[in-house]
Structure 1
Amino acid sequence: MSTDRAGLSNNQAASVKLLAPVAALLALAASPVALSPAMAADVATPVYKAPVVEVPSPWQIRVRALGVITDDEGYVSQIPGSGLSYSDSIVPELDITYYFTENFAAELILGVTPHDIDGSGTISSLNKIGDVWALPPTLTLQYHFTNFGAFKPYIGAGINYTFFFDQNASAADSLDVKDTFGWALQAGFDYMFDQHWGINVDVKKLFLEPDFDAVVGGTPVSGTAKLSPWLVGVGVTYRF
């Protein structure tokens, strides 16, 4: 068996020649110097992905149970010492809110309420004069405080226009309560359990004094029903 000058056999020399390119490739792959600059940067610097933050929708709705508590004031112009009183009610109510910013929003309140109209003072003997239904859509501009975490109080002011319908006379021969404008003040808060769901407590004061015409005992009369109700609501908030 022949050997080369280093004392290796011919077979050993051939094996060394075959393994040398493989060893060179392995050394090149293992060396960080062999990586391109882009690859080296990718390996050395981990990529940070910021968490995705969901932007709140500007739309929000609330469903409330609403207590309507009226002022018992008013009069019949032609009868001195006359007065009026009105029944209170509890009704469902829906409101729709649009946020212009996180602080400023507009809210539209929708609901209908039934009311009895009773005589008081010198006309208390008439008892129930009649009954009406009121539809008082109210639009308020609100300011929402945003520095209390999940507790989000707000205040508002706006305008109301009340429609009176399904009017029925009782002691009166006829009754016509006029539709009218009024002002509204508002305060309340949402307590949000998460980005979408929360509970709401809301109080409004409507300054509402509609005029009316009636016929009592064949005599036409007129006057003002000073309803000016408090609206006290508790319900559920959902922000889209």
Structure 2
Amino acid sequence: MKCRYFALAALAIALAVPGQAAAKSGDVQFKLLATYVAPDGKIQDVKLDLIGLPAGTQTKADDNIVPTMAIEYFVSDNISLETIAGVTQHDVVGRGGLAGAGLVSNANIVPATLTLKYHFGKDGGARPYVGAGLSYFIFIDEKPGATAVALGATRQKMGDSLGMAFQAGIDVPVNAKGLAVTFDAKRYLVHSTARWFAGPTEVLRTRHKLDPWVVSAGLAFRF
């Protein structure tokens, strides 16, 4: 339902504003965005278990809303390269046999992403697009959660990981000077390995499916 409202709002704006020249080869576009990040986080495989996880143990990463920025360069009138900048923070909690247990605390993720996009549409109107590319998830300063600490964990580490990103969105002109409203949705396919340590000894290693949905809305400025 929310997606329908977004689409209707974008169409209304497009019909109400004066025509804007479509992007041309060599143009640069900046986007300031509010971004909703919804990762999965479930366990795919247990590689090492010296603590004896309860049967049926599963995990989930929490959602977050963060500011992000995108920079886009048009290599032709319809094709662009886009990268995003931002940091999102997440906790990982247990489900099943460890329901509610705090396992990972304050995992800061830098989702370094580069996508190649194709833009549809013509001068003066909304320009939908699709894209795909690579992403490298960098984890910073994560810590064991409260339950993991109570069980003896002294350190926790998430492994940096390379994955894929797919996106679709629309830029809707607001004026004839390059200002637009933008809506974007990305789906990442990326996995990571989590390790917990008690002193120097690794006591637990699990493989996780992250695969977040990343949905953004904001303003675009083209030069």
TM-score between both structures, scaled by the size of structure 2: 0.77
Runs of 4 or more off by more than 6 Å in structure 1? 216-219
C-alpha distance in structure 1 between counterparts of 2:23 and 2:198, whole Å: 60
> Larger Rg: 1 or 2?
1
Aligned pair partner of 1:214 in 189, 196, 213:
196
Does residue 71 (structure 1) correspond to residue 40 (structure 2)? The answer is yes
Which residue does 1:146 correspond to in 2? 121
Residue aligned with 1:210, SS: strand
Contact 1:162 1:181 in 2 (8 A): yes
User: 1:226 Cα shift?
Assistant: 1.4
Structure having the larger proportion of residues in strand: 2
Question: Does structure 2 conserve the Cα–Cα contact (< 8 Å) formed by 1:76 and 1:221?
Answer: no
Count of matched residue pairs: 187
Paired residues for 1:38-53 under 5 Å: none
Distance 1:134 1:82, change over 3 A: same
Query: Partners of 2:45 and 2:81 in 1: how far apart?
Result: 37
Q: Percent identity?
A: 30
Cα deviation for residue 148 of structure 1 reads 7.0
Gaps of 5+ in 2: 1-20
Unmatched runs of 5 consecutive residues or more in structure 1: 1-52
Structure of greater relative contact order (alpha carbons < 8 Å, 6+ residues apart): 2
Q: 1:106 aligns with which of 81, 105, 110?
A: 81
1:179 and 2:160 are equivalent in the alignment: yes
Q: Quick one: distance in 1 between partners of 2:58 and 2:219?
A: 38
Q: In the alignment, which residue of structure 2 is the partner of 1:165?
A: 140
1:218-237 mapped onto 2 (5 Å cutoff): 220-237=203-220
In structure 2, the partner of 1:87 is 62
State how far apart, in whole Å, the 1-side matches of 2:221 and 2:206 are.
Answer: 42
User: Helix, strand or coil: the match of 2:35?
Assistant: strand
State the 1:168 CA deviation.
1.3
Give RMSD over aligned pairs: 2.3
Q: Which has the higher helix share?
A: 1
**Contact 1:159-1:184 at 8 Å conserved across structures:** yes
